Structure 1
Amino acid sequence: MTRTDAVPAGGGLCAGRVVAVTGAGRGLGRAHALAYAAEGAKVIVNDLGVGLDGTPAPDTPAAQVVAEIREFGGEATAHGGDIATSEGAASVVAAAVDTFGRLDTLVNNAGFLRDRMLVNQDEEDWDAVMRVHLKGHFLPLKHAAAYWRAEAKAGRPVTARVINTSSGAGLLGSVGQGNYSAAKAGILGLTLVAAAELARYGVQVNAIAPAARTRMTEATFAGTMAAPGNGGFDAMAPENVSPLVVWLGSGESCDGVTGRVFEVEGGRITVMEGWRPGPAVDKAERWTPTGAGGAVRELLERAAVPGSVYGAQ
């Protein structure tokens, strides 16, 4: 990410806010951390420093991102805890409070892949992806929410924000990614519940479903580089996703936006509208199996056609 400006002298959109980003050593997380810092936020850069499959990697990229932020005048600190453990997740919140005095925004971003077709996927692959994606969202959210609830009950104003990271795979499903699709769909449900439960404490919770070139998607988007015909705009650059994430994590500017899911790709932002009642019929008495089947056939004729599962023929 090439930076042309230092932290704005006037503070920026997130001036004074303290933001924790999980999985911020590379890809989307790195782009988010840099973008927040460029808007004046103080950033906790969390990254365990593992490989694409979740196994330990030889480098520790969180410190590199912190160095980048400090180079253009921002404030940041690295955090290497495992956010899929209660201790590690709690320590993210503690790091923010101990280092910068507060926590205002949590961006749950960490994840990895263990792709296999369902018949070939073993229990370890399932558990590992659920642990990092779904549990790795729940635990930081739980500990951050407990902190904000305590602040609110103590009479201190709370303007807190959470941005969770789902995926098109969570919205539509993806062949060969049963574990990942299920985890990302679970994150959507968690987002809706958290938005409803935490509103009373001044917390807004939203989710994004980004499409960008990262370690997890580089094979999918390998050929989608910047095109000369559109002014060199690289539609799959992870930095394209970060402006919305920064806005959702800001203060008064995004007030009232909660419980929403946004698909973000290139220059396009889409408000996703999830499960809503479609055509229905009420017989006001018990159906027979044949009758129920006939009713369903008729309803499906009037229902919208669902989107295709990614990778389906």
Structure 2
Amino acid sequence: MDFTQSFRIRYPIIMAPMFLVSNEAMVKAAMDNEIAGTFPTLNFRKEGELKTVLENLNAYKAQLNGKQGNYGVNLIVQKTNPLYVKHLEECVNAKVPFYITSLGNPREVINAAHSYGAKVLCDVTNLHHAAKAAKEGCDGFIAVATGAGGHAGPYPMHILVPALQREFPDKCIIAAGGIATGQQIASALILGAKGVSIGTRFIASNEATVSNEYKQAIVDYGMEDIVLTERLSGTPSNIINTPAAKKIGYKQNWIERILNNNSRTRKYFKMLVQLRGMKKLENAIKPGSYKQLWEAGQSVEMVHEISSIDDIIHRLVAELQAEIKTVSTWKI
């Protein structure tokens, strides 16, 4: 699959869906710059919000005047997502161009999307989960490597991407985790990825509506300040190691582990943990919040300023083009 052609974008970059960060303005800016902008549907939980955003994005996409920009949505397909069924229906009605699925069986999304020609990429962190998604007929994978912001995988990009390419040569592989420069994009493409998904770099953007403290933290903190915690969603998630992060801790206690592993209590316990974690994160991103509980990936190491999405993408593309030119001169 030719990723850029199939997904109707010019550059092989997805602005990753970021919980409580991605917004309509960011997605429009991505489309303006001819990449794919995405957002979690859970960012729009009030009645009518998602429907309105999808209508706005479809109208905006129709007026791009020849530009090759596109958008997609991220759906949490676990049963613990109470809005999953409703959000999928609204996305299908709006004929969303493509989907990224996370944390569950993507079968319903794949069938619904393929009914009108949309594409589906599934978040995977290992070959086992990739095999399940491939069996359901997904179009490709978001290869979530170690160092990704939010839910991260255990394997580095330089292992996960080639392994997926070897096992699933017919699938489109998008590298995610630890990518914030054109050089890193080039590295992913050399490995065999068809494109990349970048999140953390776009948190430090003018268009992001999170607090200035959060944006500045992306600039000020480094790769050694990123830690995995199980306390926000029950699934290991990368956050900045602020005092608030240290306070909530990184591992579930023994009672939580029992509830999480018991077949009778697992669903409801995970739902409780996720709702509680969402509330904590929502409070933390608000301007003036003292809690400082922020999701981010190890690529904070590569972020040195807050700037517009236009400038970020222009720099990424220029750096990528420079790297491709350099590689073309190699003599081996």
Do Structure 1 and Structure 2 share a fold, with TM-score over 0.5?
no
TM-score (norm 1): 0.34
Larger radius of gyration: 1
